[in-house]
Amino acid sequence: MSEAAATLSGPVEEIDIRELDDIIENQFGNDKENLIMILQAIQRRYNYLPRPALTYLAPKIGVPFSKIYGVATFYATFSLEPRGRNIISICLGTACHVRGGERIRERITDSLKIKDGETTPDGRFTLESVRCIGCCSLGPVIKINEDMHGRIGTDEVEKVLNQYE
């Protein structure tokens, strides 16, 4: 296969087969026992599981596409829809809710013009609401990627969002 042809079409960006091979072959030895870890690695790379990548994966590890698809849809941690470069998790658990979590969500929604579960057209952010992320004493809390932002006020939302490209 030529260099130019070594991509699969995906809805957000082209998927480089060499990158997939690096994950599937080099990191996980084409071993179907590593399916979950392979899916995690693909999701880390693309922020979601592109369908062409799963189609490519199936024969590489000898697992039917339907089974891979079943695993990908079973675990809430996997997304089959394109997600933004930055994932905002707004906590709406009880502790954060009583401390104004809903107002924070509204401010994010107003600022980015996206609702829960949506991604900005430029692919910068995806907004997801969650129920408790384990630091209730810091409520209201938002998590952006791996960063926790606790005791956040509505007037601080813009400043926090501006930290992410």
What residues make contact with ligand FES under the rule CB under 6 A? 91, 93-96, 132-136, 139, 141
User: Shortest gap between Cβ of 48 and ligand FES (angstroms)?
Assistant: 24
Beta carbons within 8 Å of 145's beta carbon, 6+ residues apart: 86, 87, 164
* Distance between CA atoms of residues 1 and 69, nearest Å: 27
What is the residue whose two structure tokens read 């690096």? 22
DSSP string, 18-52: HHHHIIIIIITTT-GGGHHHHHHHHHHHHSS--HH
User: Shortest gap between Cβ of 95 and ligand FES (angstroms)?
Assistant: 4
In the bound state with ligand FES, the residue whose beta carbon lies nearer, of 49 and 143, is 143
| Other Cβ atoms within 10 Å of 47 Cβ, number | 20
In the bound state with ligand FES, the residue whose beta carbon lies nearer, of 63 and 135, is 135
What is the residue whose two structure tokens read 């829960």? 116
User: Shortest gap between Cβ of 87 and ligand FES (angstroms)?
Assistant: 16
In the bound state with ligand FES, the residue whose beta carbon lies nearer, of 95 and 144, is 95
User: Shortest gap between Cβ of 26 and ligand FES (angstroms)?
Assistant: 38
Q: Shortest Cβ contact with ligand FES: which residue?
A: 93
In the bound state with ligand FES, the residue whose beta carbon lies nearer, of 80 and 95, is 95
